[in-house]
Structure 1
């Protein structure tokens, strides 16, 4: 019965996959549009001068990095809460709906631009992403549980939706935020999150019984079960028990739960307190007692307790499981190192683009950029619109309202894209428009034609390069030259370091303390090219190794450790960004990136050198 229900998804398909996958594709696309669109603007908004033509908050860069690092860390930590509520209480579907609603309200709040609403918006976005992010992939997993041979293709398509959303979010929200107004950029992100919510809500029945609340799913399972299915399930459970009976189980003792609670509380309060104490210049500090600040002591205590508990639990397991968990811990450490550097993109790299990069183009350079920018905007949008048409053909009859909302969102996105391109060609002097047309399009008349690339634009290169290079890397992994796990992580870290090396070299002549410079934009292009290749070596394969190395009953716990590593990495990325201001003043911004280059390459070399011992810990898992 269950298998039949799963196969029903494939009766109505798009490009060989269930139409429901593409409902998730577009919902995730708009969620990533909103997240990355806002993310690209945030630090620029905080640091832009109060006297600028589009005034920001005029914060010091270190304050902005501190808040941004805490925000991104909390986004990853909140996925544990969202996953728990979905598994135990409301189901995947309502978790997605609740998350999308919270994010919509979060973006709407940020569009107001006052301190209260900015902080409220960030809080809503943290919890919204926590509910949304882990449960979309859970729905896909359920859809394909009886078609494992098609699961890789499904996740590839879904991942394209992720990158398409990130690409257009950065391109359009970044452009509107920088060129028109911050609130427009923040608000646009919320509008498309709302479209994603409405599309998902009105088409959710396409998923059948998948993603319902645990109680509802249990009732339906009891109503539809038959003896053959029950016997099959019992047999499979017995097989699993036989396989794992020899593996020592280590339940959490009460004292271990207490340590987890203490670590969680200390870590959470510290992540919130760190930017609060800096922004308020010490007026708000939860760890200050008298004249002494215990912030560093608190977080070090939490980290030490966590590692003691992790080591204690690992040594309690059977020999093989213990060694595999050590391998996972090693890879989680490398992932932490990777994201601590990779997440400089919305921070120090965006500020480098804003302050130190020559982004003003004239003559042939201007024309070439405008043509290339038009192609990279219109061609992907046309392809995705074609996929939208294919989905309409399969689902419009049964889910008309969902399709209308989805279609309306694409009409708006096309209008904004065409408006942006027309405005750029006019501003560069390659297009003549009458006064009435300028007024209708709300485009200001320009006196000195030129093209200025938005500082946020460079972030779109990551998504563009992923879409371009992912098939090549996929072929590499499937070939006889497929590197070992350690080699992939090592190559990824070395590519990451080399990417930073380009901007380090480009900024070598910027004198210490300089606030502006005119470095060639091509150094940043190379940064994102190499960083994307590094990401393709690490990000897609990391969780795969967790699922292969860890027994099924422990996957949830180790996934938690994995996401904790990424959360800490995001916060450390903010801390690294804070140090950039002092290093730039004393030694020059080029030296800051050079230090990161050396560290990243060194970590990559260490990973490759440790290939044999880590391979032994994996016990044949590839």
Structure 2
């Protein structure tokens, strides 16, 4: 009889509050939209503007630069998002507002216009800032202080995040690959609309959670907590949280190479051929699903391991888990070092796919030890009056980690050398191979033809050997050995990096018998390519390239230093673990299996008077 008298917000499902699953599915679909869009974002920016499904035509370096700024701002926006929740709206209403902005942002992003691209990104930044920190804080609000289920609840919530990311990386990646970039962006937007609908429907299961502490629905305890100054214990805990945010920056600075450097590396340097009749190779964006897929498989396993570990009386503090997770994640880059070595072992070589699978596996295990635990850690230590803003600072730290990741990825990409074609199309044709390509007819129908790319104003690549001779840089065709220098002139002037090319070749003792190599990318000027009347004239083509050997060295060095720094940082944290734990004042020392008390509504966070 007692069970039937429970209010919707008091009910449990599989041993957890029913509201957890409302937040689970809301966040699952929100992350579907975010990771689906993120998986194709860099690839879209780096795709030729003259392709059948044009991208922005940016260089890899520029694409990673914007990716770093965007992913930073997405999470830094969590600070004002948390502040708005704490001071004005409460977590629940701020999540609602953030979801609405996200629906607008993803909808605009599906419009194939340059203005829509940047406008959509702005709305998504604002929307994630409102939703992300506050929905995570609401998860903590479902559990009473000392409830051992809190960590496992966050792990379940985290699995929801990654089910969305897994589904998105496959479906959005394939839709973008088969139908076009903006269809992919549109599918991501549909996911956000579903998530918003779930959150609206599930309000009855969230009564008393995420309410504005200055509002009429807040409890007397919450109103008093919002007014009183912080105690010494609360201040110490805030200090620990701020130090833990440094771990967050380092962790995500290394981990978030996934959407940038590793995404581009997979696209260019990994053999993705599978030879299916309907799919010759796996799109690079689909590999973004590996991380989420591993989390779905191993999420509960890792969560259960740590519960068993704690019950065995062994060290299992959140800071310990975060340190171990950082070390494991860093070791994943060892496999990327092996991949880089394999790809560079032969000229224009590629690495096997299994290196990517192994790298993402270690990254995922590290993430499962770090990320859901850090979310739970904040809800244990954050003073009630600053619950949302501390979660906002956490996500801002995540954003700074993303910006760090973008900067690292940007440094891993060499600046391209550039030149201009100075010969006619007829003189270029002997060096170009015919290829199958899709084009749009005057009726906007897509058909496949077999022709020279230059006849359709498409880009084409000539593989070349590069070496110095008599104080000049010589380019010869990789297959025939014919001199390519008459085809183009290297850029000159104060802003040109052409002198550096000769310097690099000379310093590395490159010779004609031991040359460097380059993929010379010939591409028509974007604006001139829009002029259909001059289609196929072969004019206004530029050339760009990086030295393959130097680029491989740069990537290997990046993977190596990511390994060294993250592993060293993790061990440094373990060294100071005892001192940091003292500042928590036993916040994690008395966790037990607490069941929901139907007499108690609302939630508590880090009440210092109970320790």
Partner SS, residue 345 of structure 1:
coil
Q: CA deviation at 1:488?
A: 2.7
In the alignment, structure 1 residue 591 sits paired with structure 2 residue 557: yes
Alignment of 1:429-448 (within 5 A): 429=277
Q: CA deviation at 1:146?
A: 9.1
Aligned residue number for residue 441 of structure 1: none
Aligned equivalents of 1:590 and 1:565: distance in 2? 27
Partner SS, residue 55 of structure 2:
coil
In the alignment, structure 1 residue 455 sits paired with structure 2 residue 289: no
Q: Is the 8 A contact 1:488 1:537 kept in 2?
A: yes
Larger radius of gyration: 2
In the alignment, structure 1 residue 333 sits paired with structure 2 residue 246: yes
In the alignment, structure 1 residue 31 sits paired with structure 2 residue 30: yes
Structure 1 332/151 Cα, relative in aligned 2: closer, same or farther at 3 Å?
Answer: closer
Residue 571 (structure 2) aligned to one of 579, 597, 605? 605
Structure 1 588/89 Cα, relative in aligned 2: closer, same or farther at 3 Å?
Answer: closer
Q: CA deviation at 1:44?
A: 0.4
Aligned equivalents of 1:98 and 1:196: distance in 2? 13
Q: Is the 8 A contact 2:85 2:212 kept in 1?
A: yes
Structure 1 521/610 Cα, relative in aligned 2: closer, same or farther at 3 Å?
Answer: same
In the alignment, structure 1 residue 351 sits paired with structure 2 residue 264: yes
Aligned residue number for residue 332 of structure 2: 499
Aligned equivalents of 2:240 and 2:82: distance in 1? 25
Q: Is the 8 A contact 2:154 2:375 kept in 1?
A: no
Structure 1 152/588 Cα, relative in aligned 2: closer, same or farther at 3 Å?
Answer: closer
Q: CA deviation at 1:7?
A: 4.8
Q: CA deviation at 1:150?
A: 5.2
Alignment of 1:102-113 (within 5 A): 102-113=101-112
Partner SS, residue 53 of structure 2:
coil
Structure 1 476/18 Cα, relative in aligned 2: closer, same or farther at 3 Å?
Answer: closer
Structure 1 6/146 Cα, relative in aligned 2: closer, same or farther at 3 Å?
Answer: farther
Aligned residue number for residue 46 of structure 1: 45
Q: CA deviation at 1:157?
A: 3.1
Structure 1 202/557 Cα, relative in aligned 2: closer, same or farther at 3 Å?
Answer: closer
Aligned residue number for residue 362 of structure 2: 530
Aligned residue number for residue 474 of structure 1: 303
Q: Which moved more, 1:554-563 or 1:499-508?
A: 554-563
Aligned residue number for residue 169 of structure 1: 168
CA deviations 1:39-81 (Å, max 9, x no partner) are: 1010000001224343211101121111111111111121222
Q: Is the 8 A contact 2:101 2:124 kept in 1?
A: yes
Q: Is the 8 A contact 1:6 1:146 kept in 2?
A: no
Aligned equivalents of 2:319 and 2:213: distance in 1? 39
Q: CA deviation at 1:579?
A: 0.3
- Unaligned stretches of 5+ residues in structure 1: 222-228, 248-317, 363-427, 430-445
CA-based RMSD = 3.5
Aligned residue number for residue 564 of structure 1: 396
Aligned residue number for residue 482 of structure 2: none
Aligned residue number for residue 87 of structure 1: 86
Aligned residue number for residue 188 of structure 1: 187
Q: CA deviation at 1:10?
A: 5.8
CA deviations 1:357-409 (Å, max 9, x no partner) are: 000024xxxxxxxxxxxxxxxxxxxxxxxxxxxxxxxxxxxxxxxxxxxxxxx
Structure 1 34/338 Cα, relative in aligned 2: closer, same or farther at 3 Å?
Answer: same
Aligned equivalents of 1:618 and 1:89: distance in 2? 29
Q: Is the 8 A contact 1:508 1:589 kept in 2?
A: no
Structure 1 579/9 Cα, relative in aligned 2: closer, same or farther at 3 Å?
Answer: same
Q: Is the 8 A contact 2:154 2:372 kept in 1?
A: no
Q: Is the 8 A contact 1:502 1:524 kept in 2?
A: yes
Aligned equivalents of 1:179 and 1:16: distance in 2? 42
Partner SS, residue 508 of structure 1:
helix
Q: Is the 8 A contact 2:106 2:124 kept in 1?
A: yes
Partner SS, residue 65 of structure 1:
helix
Q: CA deviation at 1:338?
A: 0.7
Q: CA deviation at 1:12?
A: 5.5
Q: CA deviation at 1:111?
A: 1.3
Aligned equivalents of 1:67 and 1:155: distance in 2? 31
Structure 1 188/5 Cα, relative in aligned 2: closer, same or farther at 3 Å?
Answer: same
CA deviations 1:236-281 (Å, max 9, x no partner) are: 969x98xx89x4xxxxxxxxxxxxxxxxxxxxxxxxxxxxxxxxxx
Aligned equivalents of 1:483 and 1:604: distance in 2? 15
Partner SS, residue 102 of structure 1:
helix
Aligned equivalents of 1:616 and 1:26: distance in 2? 37
Q: Is the 8 A contact 2:74 2:128 kept in 1?
A: yes
Q: Is the 8 A contact 1:510 1:590 kept in 2?
A: no
CA deviations 1:419-449 (Å, max 9, x no partner) are: xxxxxxxxx24xxxxxxxxxxxxxxxx6xxx
Partner SS, residue 7 of structure 2:
helix
Q: Is the 8 A contact 1:513 1:588 kept in 2?
A: no
Aligned residue number for residue 117 of structure 1: 116
CA deviations 1:181-238 (Å, max 9, x no partner) are: 10010001111211222333345345446556677x51x67xxxxxxx97xx59x969
- Unaligned stretches of 5+ residues in structure 2: 416-549, 589-611
Aligned equivalents of 2:20 and 2:330: distance in 1? 36
Partner SS, residue 519 of structure 1:
coil
Aligned equivalents of 2:190 and 2:565: distance in 1? 41
Structure 1 513/591 Cα, relative in aligned 2: closer, same or farther at 3 Å?
Answer: farther
